[in-house]
Amino acid sequence: MNDKMIIAGREFSSRLFIGTGKFASNRIMSDAIEASGSEMVTVALRRVNIEDSSDDMLSAIMRENVQLLPNTSGARDAKEAVRLAKIARAASGIEWVKLEVTPDPYYLLPDPVETLEAAKELVDEGFIVLPYINADPVLAKKLEDAGCATVMPLAAPIGSNKGIKTRDSIKIIISQASVPVVVDAGLGLPSHAADAMEMGADAVLVNTAIAVCDKPSEMAQAFAKSVEAGRQGYLAGPGCVSETANASSPLTGFLRD
């Protein structure tokens, strides 16, 4: 299946993005990233020393084919987010940034107004911006118009493992987007990731579900397979949902002959 995804000119074979929070150790994280086959790994800027190539966390993440995606987690407004992004770029030379602006410390939901403001400024400054947002189709379109490389609507509150609780809005976002749509936050099981891909999402981001389970590497591999399965199912042109039964085995003939 030749089905590459392109973001900002870079080609990705894997449609599973991985987050790096909450792993019990760098070793466990490294193994899970390896098992996932992910080519896009996000990391909180303040948790690594990007300048120092011997930084333990960084070396646990990095490998060939992986695009490091610094994020602005912890930023409460546009100003903080922009500052964080600039610090990271200055230190690392990486222009990619996952934009997160979350004023509320309890649910960590994104701020639509500050996110849009920060996105505009970061795009102007030459960043490749992937914003984390509520599943708001109007906001998604505005961010796309502002030059963002993707939109990343949430499926459910971060870390909740609930699956896609914003289904109708995500469908609309997908139907209207001309940049890749990456479903982010709340995917708790492989089936949730497959579900997102079957809806036509271009990729998914998973962190908690892999980091906080009994066997992170196994779970990472399970998510990798389910993302492939969902994508392949989407491309295979599924049939319709129907109310009435459709016999798999037609009833004619035989018994009443």
Tell which positions 224-253 bind a copy of itself, by CB under 8 A. 224-226, 228-230, 232-233, 235-251, 253
Min dist. Cβ of residue 176 to a copy of itself (A): 8
Min dist. Cβ of residue 9 to a copy of itself (A): 27
Residue 90 half-sphere exposure, CB side, CA atoms within 13 Å? 6
Please check if 93 is assigned to a binding site. Answer: no
Contact 119, 113 (CB under 8 A): no
Contact 74, 84 (CB under 8 A): yes
Using CA of residue 61, residue 65, residue 140, residue 225, what is the dihedral sign? negative
Site string for a copy of itself, 196-225 (x = CB under 8 A): --x--------xxx-xxxxxx-xx-xxxxx
- Choose, by CB under 8 A, the member of 31, 56, 67, 162 that binds a copy of itself: 162
From 143, 130, 99, select the one nearest 12 (Cα to Cα): 130
Identify which range of 9-17, 59-67, 88-96, 131-139 contacts a copy of itself by CB under 8 A.
131-139
Query: Which amino acid is it at 120?
Result: K
Report the number of secondary-structure helices (H) and strands (E) in the chain: 9, 10
Residue 92: its H or E element: helix 78-92
The reply to whether 142 belongs to the active site is no
- Choose, by CB under 8 A, the member of 49, 94, 141, 200 that binds a copy of itself: 141
Q: Between 55 and 80, name the residue whose CB sits nearer to a copy of itself.
A: 80
Q: Does 11 bind a copy of itself (CB under 8 A)?
A: no
- Options 4, 86, 98, 215, the catalytic residue: 98
Contact 210, 32 (CB under 8 A): yes
Query: Which residues are annotated as part of the binding site for 1-deoxy-D-xylulose 5-phosphate?
Result: 159, 185-186, 207-208
Could you give the residue numbers annotated as active site?
A: 98
